[in-house]
């Protein structure tokens, strides 16, 4: 029976983290179906018995990878989420997303979306877990827009939830096109269009 994460020693947590990080890297680069336990073992520098000490099977490892990738994508944005209650804050988040893609040379796309594309029609539990990941991401964006609505910056009839979903959808579409074109311009255009719409719903612009 695999050990539960909450009962691990510090050394055990580090070993488990290394296994999950290796699995996330391999699945992101080569696909989930093509990733084997042997691939993960070699990349993480552990034994098969160590992997099965922490994970019952590949399915359990995939669940951990989804959680890991979700944290890896969202946690670096959390400080920015706290400042999304102004247009300047939204533009700073936009600039962060574009700069990140430039660092990666527009390779790989969104790790969460990559997993979603592989699981949405094949694994209901994974689909629901990934939907929750996007809900968590959307909630970070929505919090700032709710604050803008509460402080009177957004028009009273503006819907922060709808704006957050539209902003996240613009990001995802932009990331895909940036990946295909190896150029951040589609991402910049998509986000700028979304932000322009949000700005049009501010009281300052007479919405």
**pLDDT at position 9, please?**
83
Structure confidence at residue 207 as a pLDDT band (50, 70, 90): very low
Residues 8-41 pLDDT 10s: 788 889 999 999 999 999 999 999 999 999 999 9
Q: What is the CATH number of domain 70-205?
A: 1.10.357.10
Q: How far apart are CA 106 and CA 108, in angstroms?
A: 7
55: helix, coil or strand?
Answer: coil
Q: What is the CATH number of domain 5-56?
A: 1.10.10.60
Rounded to an integer, the average pLDDT of 172-195 is 98
**Residue 115, burial from CB neighbour count under 10 angstroms (0-12, 13-18, 19+):** buried
Residues 72-98 pLDDT 10s: 999 999 999 999 999 999 999 999 999
Closest CA to 78 of 140, 170, 135: 140
Instruction: Indicate whether 6 pLDDT > 70.
Output: no
Residues 32-45 pLDDT 10s: 999 999 999 999 99
Rounded to the nearest angstrom, the gap between the alpha carbon of residue 112 and the centroid of all alpha carbons in its chain is 5
CATH code 1.10.357.10 region(s) in the chain: 70-205
Nearest 5°: CA angle at 113, between 34 and 68?
75
CATH code 1.10.10.60 region(s) in the chain: 5-56
202: helix, coil or strand?
Answer: strand
Q: How far apart are CA 139 and CA 144, in angstroms?
A: 9
Rounded to the nearest 10 degrees, what angle do helices 10-30 and 111-119 cross at?
A: 70
- pTM of structure: 0.88
CA R_g for the chain = 19
Residues 101-132 pLDDT 10s: 999 999 999 999 999 999 999 999 999 999 99
Residue 112: CB atoms within 10 A of its CB come to: 20
What are the tokens at 167? 């902003």
Residues 133-174 pLDDT 10s: 999 999 999 999 999 999 999 999 999 999 999 999 999 999
**pLDDT at position 8, please?**
72
**pLDDT at position 12, please?**
86
């Amino acid at each position: 029976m695999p050990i539960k994460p909450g009962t691990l020693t510090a050394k055990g947590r580090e070993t488990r983290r290394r296994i999950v990080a290796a699995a996330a890297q391999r699945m992101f680069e080569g696909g989930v179906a093509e990733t084997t336990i042997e691939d993960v073992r070699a990349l993480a520098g552990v034994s098969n018995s160590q992997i099965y000490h922490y994970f019952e099977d590949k399915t359990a490892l995939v669940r951990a990878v989804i959680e890991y990738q979700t944290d890896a994508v969202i946690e670096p944005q959390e400080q920015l989420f706290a400042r999304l209650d102004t247009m300047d804050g939204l533009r700073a988040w936009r600039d962060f997303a574009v700069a990140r893609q430039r660092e990666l040379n527009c390779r790989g796309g969104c790790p969460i979306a990559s997993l979603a594309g592989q699981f949405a029609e094949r694994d209901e539990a994974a689909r629901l877990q990934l939907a929750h990941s996007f809900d968590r991401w959307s909630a970070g964006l929505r919090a700032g827009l709710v604050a803008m609505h509460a402080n009177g910056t957004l028009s009273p009839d503006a819907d922060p939830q709808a704006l957050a979903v539209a902003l996240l959808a613009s990001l995802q579409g932009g990331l895909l096109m940036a990946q295909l074109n190896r150029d951040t311009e589609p991402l910049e255009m998509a986000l700028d269009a979304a932000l322009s719409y949000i700005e049009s719903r501010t009281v300052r612009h007479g919405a």
